[in-house]
Each structure stands twice: as C-alpha cells, then as structure tokens.
Structure 1
Amino acid sequence: MKPKHIALAVAIMAIWGVNFVAIEKGLDHFPPLLFNALRFTLAAFPALFFVGRPQVPWRWIVAVGLILGVTKFSLLFAGMAAGMPAGLSSLVLQSQAVFTVLFAVLLLRERPRPVQVGGLAVALAGVVVVGSRTGADLGAFLLVIGAAAAWGLSNIATRKASPPDTLRFMVWASAVACGPLLVLSLLIDGPAADLTALRAIDGEAVLALAYVALISTLAGFAGWGFLLKRYGASTVAPFSMLVPLFGMTSAALFLGEQIHPTDLLGGALVIGGILLGLARTPARRSALVRVDA
C-alpha cells in the first residue's frame, strides 16, 4: 500500500474507534433506540437522493438493514446505555469474527482451517477474560455479545451481496433501518421519553449524532470502500484490529475510563487470535471486513 493509503486506513480506524466515545456521549442525551433511529435517518437522507440506485438485489439490502442497522446497533447502544464501557465495547465487538466463521460454517457450509479455528479460540478466550471483570454489568456485556453475533450474521449477508459500491450499499441499508427503528423507539423507549430527548437536544447531542452518522458511517465507509476496491480485503481487513486500540485509548482520554490489566490481556488475545486467522486463511478474509460501529 502507498503511504498515503496506509495513513487513510489508520485514519478510518481512528474514526471508528473514537465513534464509541461519540456513541457514549449521544446516549447521554437520547434513549438507545431513538439515537439509533436518528443515526440511520441522518445517514440515509439526503444522501439517498445522490448515490444512485442500489447495485445489489433488494433482499440483501433489506437483510443488512435489519440485521446490522436494527439488530446489531440497537443491541450495542442498549448494552452501552446499560453500563458497558465504550472502550471495552469496541474490543468485545471484535468477537464478530468468531460469529462470522460460525455462521459461515452453518449457512455456507464452509470448512475453516485448523489454524483459523485455533486463532478464533484464542480470540474467544480473550472475550472471556474481558468479560470476567464485568460481573456487575453482565446483562450489558451479553447485549454487546449479541450485537457481535448480529454483526457476524450481517457479514454473511454482505458477503453474499458483494456490493460494488460500499458507500451506496450502506446508504440504502440505512434507509431500510430507519423506519423500523423509529417504530421500535416509539414502542420501547416511549413517545414521552423520545419527545423529552428531542426537546432537550443541545450542541453536544448534535455533534454526537453528526459524528456517528456522517463521519463514522458515510465518510468512514466511503474511504473503506475505496481501499477495498484498490487493494482487496486481504490487505485492508487487518487494519480493523486497530479499532479497539483507538476505542480504548479515546475512552480513557475523553471519558476517563480505566484500562485494567485484564483489558490489556483480553485485548491482546482477541486481536492476536483474529490476526492469526486472517494471516493464514486468505480465502476467508472477506468475511471479516465489516468494522463500523
């Protein structure tokens, strides 16, 4: 990769890592489902009118919109709202790689190589180590694990769709997600809570929403799609392991979250295990390229 493209890849990982801080700030102002609904609404409109028609079958756009947008991010936002720290959330979400391989075996009849199974077992052990200090917030931890599982399933749908334009695909998937999320927010968050949050919106809330919708989703995926087209998933995917580094560091700097020895050990196991699987299974790398939060 050219140095400027390496710098672009690292910058995107920094954007996606800091995104967890923006989510935490947004959740201080909005109920989880409303925040998620507003995020995808802003990501879809008005971009929808400029990106052009979808380039993949509708079934894949709907599938990714519902699995990734509605399910994965709702579980993530709910988990963080329930007490899961932003930095640890950025790390635990990387267990999506384990679920991606599991769903590939179950749904696509793939056979992972032994070294890939071993690497993912190491990564899973890292998630367990991280979870060992979240006993008081076990429910929140399990919500984020559920988000990682939904992300793994959406990776399979995205892989089957093989969108030629990642940004366009994400805009249309965002449009699919925003309607169901608005309905769910009214049913679960409640009209009163939603109205109270909207009435109290301030500059910090607007900045958090703009960051997760415009910078993380649209700008991040525009750059990511460019890199994937130019170099391929096998070259670009390993950069995703920088997301927890930026996520945990930014959470410590901006939110005052403490980094414990178990976080470092668990993070090393998660990142090392996933990188082992990526490095030794070139035919499987494309399943692990979705890293947005």
Structure 2
Amino acid sequence: MKPADVCIAVMVAVIWGLAFVASRIALDELPPELMTALRFGIAAVPCLFLRKPKVSWPLLIAISLNLFLGQFLAQSIAIAHGMPVGLTSVIVQSQALFTIAFAAIIFGEWPSRMQMVGIGIAAIGLLMISGTVGHDFSAGAFAILMISPICFAVGNLLLRPAQGARMFDLFAWLCLCAAVPLFALSLVTLGVKPTWQALSQMSMAGIACMLFVGAVSTSIAYWQWGRLLRDHPAAQVVPFALLVPFVGSAASSIVFGERFGPLRLAGMAAVIGGIAIMLFSRSPQPQTKIA
C-alpha cells in the first residue's frame, strides 16, 4: 500500500472509533431508532445526485437491512440501554469471527488451523466479557448488541455480488434503503409530534455529533474503506480495523470515564487477539473480504 493509502486506512479506523463516542452523545438527545434513522438520512443525501448502482433492489435491500440497519440499530439500542461505548467497539469487531464462520457454512470456505485457533480465542474472550454482565450493563443489552456483529457478518457476505458497483454510489443507496424504514419505525414507535420535538430541540453538540456520524463516519469513511478494499488485497486493508476498538475504548475512557475491570479487560484483549490471528493467518481457500 502507498503511504497515502496507509494514512487513509488509519484515518478511517480513528473516525470509526470516535463515532462510537459521538453516537453515545447523540443518544442522550435522540431515541435509538431516530438517531439511527438520522444517521443514514444524512449519509443518503448524495442519492439526490447519484444514479442507483447496477444492483438489484432485493440485493440492495438485503445488504442494507443487515450491514446498516440491523448492525447500527442494535448498537444504538444497546448503548442507550447501558452498554459501555468502549466495550461495544470491541464486541462489534467480533464480526470477523462470524464472517469466517458463515463463509465456512454457506460457501465451504473452511478456515485454516491458525484461524480456528483465533476463532477459539475470540470466542473465549466473548465468554469472559459475558461474565461481567450485571456489573454495569444488563444481559438484555448484551444480547441486543450481539445482533450487531452477526448482521455485520451477513452484510459482508451479501456484499460479494455487488463488488462491481462504484463504492460511493453503492453505500449512498444502501444508506437510503436503511433510512426509509428507520424513519417509518420512528414515526410509528414515537409518534409524529415527539419525533419532530426531538429533532427540533437538538443542541449544537448533538447536531455536530450527528453530522460527524452521518456524513463523516458513515458516508465518507465507508466510501474510502470500500475504495481501499477495491484497490488492495483484503489482507493488507482489513487489519487496520483492529485500531477501531483501541480508539473507541481510549476515547470512551477519556470522555465518559469508562473503566475496565481485570476480567473484562482480559476478555477484550482475547477478542482483539483472536481477531488478529484470524486476519493475519492465511486460509487454504480464497477468504471473504471483511468490510
């Protein structure tokens, strides 16, 4: 990779890590459904100037419902119900474990022995983290959050048939497909008047966070990440995603004073270590790109 692309990969990882903190601040002012809808509504603005990519509507909707709607709605609900932001940024990255597992089951792309070791270590880390349930977050919030990496993994696999589309166009339309049902969900669950009141009473900090999460983290960062995956082997690009939980955890510790006990810290380290082993190990068959 060129030095410029390395800088872009690091920048994207930092943006995604900081987005967890920005989302938490926005959730202090907006319900999870509305915050997630606004996120993708902002990111979908380019659709006004872009043609729909040459991807069928069923595939486009299926990708969006998993990669965007399911993943980020689960994150928002879990954070709103007490999941610590730093811990959330680690658990979401377990999508690598589920992506490899689903690819093996569906496509017969069986992982190598070292990747199996990585999967085992990451799974043990998740079990260790689950052992801290009840201290500062509930089992229900943890269960909801686990939907996020699973949807992320399914979205990764569904992206494969759409790899020929232009990345910026594709992600803009994926955001639109997520924003429409999310706004509808917000109107149904909250009502028209409360929805409007929540939007109209946002503070400048809340607006700034939403612009960062929607325009920068979702639109620009995903576009650049997709471009890097298009121009370089996934093995060179994907490991940069390991920076996300470190940035998210550090930022959460500084902004919210989040602290990690010995068991949780060991579990987080095991998850990240297991994912690193999976990503840096070679597979005997062509391996799935983890977006």
Contact 2:109 2:286 in 1 (8 A): no
Q: Residue in 2 aligned with 1:15?
A: 15
1:49 matched to 2:48: yes
* Correspondence for 2:145: 144
Residues 1-293 of structure 1 mapped to structure 2, 5 A cutoff: 1-45=1-45, 47-135=46-134, 136-282=137-283, 283=285, 285-288=287-290, 290=291
Percent pairwise identity: 33
Q: Deviations over 1:242-271 (max 9, x none)?
A: 100000001111122113333332222111
CA distance in 2, matches of 1:199, 1:57: 36
In structure 2, C-alpha distance between the alignment counterparts of 1:112 and 1:50, rounded to whole Å: 42
2:17, 2:244 within 8 Å by CA — same for their partners in 1? yes
Whichever residue aligns with residue 246 of structure 1, its letter is: V
Distance 1:161 1:167 in 2: 12
Deviates more, 1:178-187 or 1:256-265: 256-265
Q: Larger helix proportion, structure 1 or 2?
A: 1
What is the letter of the counterpart of residue 259 of structure 1? F
Q: Flag structure 2 segments of 5+ consecutive residues without an equivalent.
A: none
Q: Name which of structure 1's ranges 227-236 and 279-288 shifts more when overlaid on structure 2.
A: 279-288
Instruction: Report deviation, 1:66.
Output: 1.4
Alignment partners' CA distance in 2, 1:74 and 1:61: 18
Give the letter for the 1:54 counterpart: P
State the one-letter code of the partner of 1:125: I
Mapped partners of 2:269, 2:287: distance in 1: 20
Q: Secondary structure of the equivalent of 2:94?
A: helix
TM score, norm. by length of structure 2: 0.92
CA contact (8 A) 1:234 1:285 kept: no
Superposed CA offset, 1:138-163 (max 9, x none): 11111111111111111110123224
TM score, norm. by length of structure 1: 0.92
Is contact 2:65–2:178 with CA below 8 Å preserved after alignment?
yes
Q: Which amino acid aligns with 1:287?
A: K
Alignment check: 8 A CA contact 1:39 1:213 kept = yes
The residue identity in structure 2 corresponding to 1:16 is W
Name the CA shift for 1:189/1:118 in 2 (closer, same or farther; >3 Å): farther
Task: Show structure 1 runs of 5+ residues with no match.
Answer: none
Q: How far apart, in 2, do the equivalents of 1:265 and 1:30 lie?
A: 33
Asked if structure 2 preserves the Cα contact closer than 8 Å seen for 1:12 and 1:224, the reply is yes
CA contact (8 A) 1:23 1:212 kept: yes
What is the distance in 1 between the residues matched to 2:286 and 2:275? 12
1:140 and 1:193 mapped to 2: Cα distance? Answer: 24
What one-letter code is carried by the residue in structure 2 that aligns with 1:76? Q
Partner of 2:83, secondary structure, is coil
